[in-house]
Structure 1
């Protein structure tokens, strides 16, 4: 069957006028996605329709959104994410270790749950996977976006963001750990009845050059009853450590290692 026959094109136009996305129309009719996009553009011109990009931004439309997914995504963004926002190029990027397929899947899922109409994709780079979501409205959801590095400018949550964190504090902590944190196993030895034995214990680290982001993390830990300490190296307190057994158990219950 000719994929570009008039009948196929007519079917595609009917589906597109029903609001079905180009990707789904292309899959259903086995037509290249670029062709579907061109047909949609030509159909709009024929009807004199001015194209308006779809907008499902919760901040612009006032719609409800998945606040649990947002709290996790906010942690990922503040930890190791960035937004590109310029003419014809708007996207949120998160960089994940290529071996941590669970984290990659969780990042994609959170993006879709917060901004469902935006396309999400992966780009493989050396040793990592860049998870991208394309829409200019990520700057609405993350008003902390701005020029320069995060640790070189103030990072202050807006009241609506803090309200989300008050409901889902563990998801925020999990996002920070999954981006700029880790769970490691330390060990030490002790003499027991004349025999030296090895003991292992777990610890969580979170590292950020931003004083504001570290404070957001530690303030949240305080509210959750998690004990923490500064792990200062070379006089710089960039590392936050959670090592007390009870606190590590809490972190294991709600956060866990990257995977």
Structure 2
């Protein structure tokens, strides 16, 4: 992960405030375009500015109505399989959720959630080997996903802002559903038990969630706790990246609100 000095950051902000384009700032200071865009967004946010005078409406900038259920689900997907980027050929950032072609229903649900959260913006799908990138372009992406920043998610702190805490608190199941649809699954485990001296195979369902980020796993388990779901850490190769839900009552709750991938 590449770090930039406070002096470079301040030079970039000064140039941006003077009207210099992000692409020119990136080239002059040898800083990635996405990092410059992030700095621009953070500087505008501190000053209470919208991304642009002709930008579509935004829940954060002008109080536009937001489908909080769809946002909670989309935010869960973003934390797992989502990425915000801005390439030189595009003038606005894009949110990309990469989803396996084995689950076309989840691709449909992801695109539907995008359209509800960003009703003024068109969505698209880009075919890749074995998967599709579900995408939406918006000048307000960094407003709605303030967790975006330079580097990978597990290399930086991931914490909810107060308005996000309210949304997740009111829509915990869509959030869990989004996390499972991105970095989780419902599987069938099996073991053997001795019954009357004869070994018999016993199968049971389990929900599995894996994420390298300690903060994202914490958001998941904190939400499970509030929902009354029992869970355990499963350490593999010395890594506590896996969260298991296997208790019958907890699995039943997960089945009622999440269910298998489709």
Instruction: Give me the TM-score of the superposition, normalised by structure 2.
Output: 0.77
Is this contact kept in 2: 1:185–1:203, CA < 8 A? yes
Deviation, structure 1 residue 192:
1.9
- Structure-to-structure mapping, 1:40-189, within 5 angstroms: 53-85=54-86, 88-189=91-192
Aligned partners of 1:56, 1:120: CA distance in 2, in Å?
16
Corresponding residue for 2:246?
243
Is this contact kept in 1: 2:55–2:139, CA < 8 A? no
Aligned partners of 1:209, 1:89: CA distance in 2, in Å?
29
Structure 1: segments with no counterpart, 5+ residues = 1-50
Is this contact kept in 2: 1:56–1:116, CA < 8 A? no
Deviation, structure 1 residue 191:
2.4
Question: Does 2:225 match 1:232?
Answer: no
Could you list the structure 1 runs, at least 4 aligned residues long, displaced by more than 4 angstroms after superposition: 51-54
RMSD, aligned CA:
1.5
Structure 2: segments with no counterpart, 5+ residues = 1-51
Give per-residue Cα distances to partners, 1:108-165, cap 9 Å, x unaligned: 0000000111110111101111100111211110000001000000001000000001
The structure having more radius of gyration, on CA atoms, is 1
User: What SS class does the counterpart of residue 56 from structure 1 fall into?
Assistant: coil
Instruction: Give me the TM-score of the superposition, normalised by structure 1.
Output: 0.78
Is this contact kept in 2: 1:54–1:117, CA < 8 A? no
Deviation, structure 1 residue 64:
1.0
Aligned partners of 1:93, 1:126: CA distance in 2, in Å?
15
Give per-residue Cα distances to partners, 1:67-99, cap 9 Å, x unaligned: 000000010001110101355252100011112
Corresponding residue for 2:39?
none
Question: Does 2:214 match 1:214?
Answer: no
When structure 1 is superposed on structure 2, of 182-191 and 84-93 the one drifting more is: 84-93
When structure 1 is superposed on structure 2, of 124-133 and 188-197 the one drifting more is: 188-197
